[in-house]
Structure 1
Amino acid sequence: MFNIASILVGLLVLVLTLVGFIPLLGWLNWLTIPIGIVGIALGALSSSKAGRNLNIILVIICAIRLFVGGGLL
């Protein structure tokens, strides 16, 4: 059950991350990183690793996007 919740959180983070790749909307990644960390926590409570791995990858992508954009762009 926690894995399904983690995957659903991951899909929400994925959609918000894709919107955050639009120029001048990079600040949205500041919102998606904490949501992704909640998804990682839900995935850690599960016996399956798929949801946790999805959220880890998305948090890393958001962090790289923030680094490249200087934190705001």
Structure 2
Amino acid sequence: MKIAGLIIGILAILGMILAFIPCIGALNWINIPFAVLGLIFSILGLNQDQRTGLPKGTSIAGIIMCAIAIFFGLIRLILGGGII
């Protein structure tokens, strides 16, 4: 779960960067739910790590990347009026 969350977090960050290009801002309508899915996977991976005592750096990195993609994606949608 934590590896899936990390991979989705990386892809969400790349999608967020791509959506900052003018006229491609609507990509955030796809990217934000994708990042929420990655956030859920990372949180589940973190809970699994806490029970087993494994290192939890991968899960935390996935959580941070997905949260950044969600935050900046929402800001971009608000500033662009949801379309641009």
TM-score normalized by structure 1? Answer: 0.90
Alpha-carbon shift at residue 50 of structure 1 (Å): 2.0
Residue in structure 1 matched with residue 76 of structure 2 by the alignment: 65
CA distance in 2 between partners of 1:27 and 1:43 (Å)? 25
Going by fraction, where is helix more abundant, 1 or 2? Answer: 2
**Shift >3 Å, 4+ stretches:** none
Identity %: 33
Name the structure 1 match of 2:67. Answer: 56
SS of structure 2 residue aligned to 1:24: coil
Match of residue 28 from structure 1? 27
Rg comparison, structure with higher value:
2
Matches of 2:61 and 2:15, distance apart in 1: 19
| RMSD over equivalenced CA pairs, Å | 1.0
Unaligned runs of 5+ in 2: 47-55
TM-score, length of structure 2 as denominator length: 0.79
